[in-house]
Structure 1
Amino acid sequence: MNIIKNINHLLFIALVPLSSCLDNPSPNERQGPEFFTPVLASSLQQETFPQLERNPMSKEGILLGKTLFYEPTLSQNGEVSCATCHAPDLAFSDGLALSDQGVSGKKLHRNSPPLFNLAWHKGLFWDGGAANLESLVFGPLTHPDEMAADLKEIIHYLNGSAQYTEMFEAAFETDSITSSLIGRALAQFVRSLISQDSKYDQWKRKEAIFDSSEIRGYQLYQKHCSSCHTEGLFTDLEYHNNGLDISYPNPTELEGIYLGRYRISFDEKDKGAFKTPSLRNIALTAPYMHDGRFVDLEEVLNHYEHGIKVNESLAPELKMGIQLNADERADLLAFLETLTDYKFINNKAYQK
């Protein structure tokens, strides 16, 4: 955040002499990117928004990132964009277990996760293999089964577009479009996707009322779910083995994709451990788990009741499972519905 203050301060100093000399400055006069920090709701329970000094958010950068996010021309066949697998009305997920919507038509090996509140994630992808959004975006952008983009061809295309050259100039004050700037712009847009105005949020702010079932469901969530799905972001941002499998196949050509966090950490306790997904917007993001194996939340609860496979790296909280009767299930599901953020999924600022 210091860089934003410094940049704005320098811009102010630079512009004062100019503004004092011109009574009617040109409306097209360049002022530099308009940096800003999103306002956070108290219910999100995050005191600060984590701006990056090397990639501070600006309105121009986010607009550029949004335009690139919806741009199918970036893909090898000109038909697949980031939004193909991350639709706003599904909280930027795709509703598929394993997407086959990429340029190759082949099924992927992991479920497309929703995109919101990722500014606070220190590890991205299901196994935390990407350190930040700036590096993450090049995974789907260049993967042969996703967008299969050639970065040199993308840069050539963007440099040939008057619209894009103008947008890059406005966002980054440069006439040199690079892959790094593409990553920074996309990261700014994705970082701007903040979900914090569900019925739950309004209830926490005393702007809405829970009925008795939703209150009981909230209490059940606190008892059975909150240790991993920590209130606020509704994820602890950690990796856990939740008993999906006994063993983990490791075909050489897939580079350990079924091993979970172990693929990154090489720590035995991380075998089969995957990132804790947020419960926010959970009613919109089926199917569930890293491979989309569960069609709906009833199947998820069935797994936690009697489907957990005990193994050496199983999260200790799950050794006894989660036992709920029919009424308790209904109450918990009622609470989970309150985490749907309709304002987020209908926010035109996030849409094409």
Structure 2
Amino acid sequence: MTGRDENGDDGRRVGRRSRALRTVGIVLAGAVVLGVGAVGWAYWHLSDNIKSVDINNALGDDRPPRAMTTPSPSASVSAPPLPTEALNILVLGSDSRSGEENQELGGGSSTGARSDTAMVVHLDAGRTGATIVSIPRDTLVTRPSCPLPSGGSTEVAYTSMFNNAYAIGGPVCAVKTVESITNIRMDHYIEIDFSGFAKLVDALGGVTVTTDEDIDDEDSHLRLDAGTHHLDGQQALALARTRHGIGDGSDLGRIGLQQKLVKALLDQISTAGLLADPARLYRVADAVTGSLTTDTGLDSLSELMRLGQSLRGLSSDAVRTVTMPVVPAASDRNRVVAEEPEASELWESLR
């Protein structure tokens, strides 16, 4: 009797508590495993989204020198040291990806591709400032001989429209052409397509832009009164593509709108509180990586994160946006050529 009392009710309660604790432990362990698995899957998915081109291998050593390394600024214990060299990135916005989404948004055909937006992004050593130089797509340039993915190379082309470099030889030729006209080495290459840009803006909750004049462009289907507007992804893309509804209808007017949009996006990203909202952060990352083509130096999530972390202290106020100085071409008033010596002086200031 005594033995039953000592091991009966109390024993059963201890047994039940033990089984309950084991059950909780199993559930917690499962949650941890599932959580780690989910993070691992998300990391793999985002990295797998990114497409890349081995530009360094394609171009070899016949390129401008890399930027010089400068003394490293002091870093806090909690933050990694800032980069010690300037960085130059060629950023293209293109309609190169065929598909229903891009077609609906005005993308190119499945048989062709164009670089509708070209910007050289110069990040200062220490990442305290940046200069974004837009190159008008209608600029007439000497396109150098470019290696082709299928073998062989293109012929040198004189007075060729700048954006033909991408159409003829893809990212490799776009990079080589930019390097030939700037004498600046492009350390990295980033390309984002139409649908990806629209998805990014939507994932950020839209973007607020102020326009100085009314916009009514039949080609981009955008109609806005002068003033401040909060745009969704499709509207923001239309703004980036607008040229005929403003100013003189040239590419220079569109570049001005694109530069406004870039700064507005920087402000939106800095105030979006992404780190406090993992689900939203994932949507933004998925939108970006799903539409991205980079060089092989940026084709992983870790490399993109490292670049992003180095820019953590860079505000839109520290970003200067300019356009390569151009004048109308004598041979075709609908085209432009670099204005000298102003264009060369601009590129020299970024070396």
Larger C-alpha radius of gyration, 1 or 2? 2
Measured against the shorter chain, the TM-score band is: under 0.3
TM-score, normalization by structure 2: 0.25
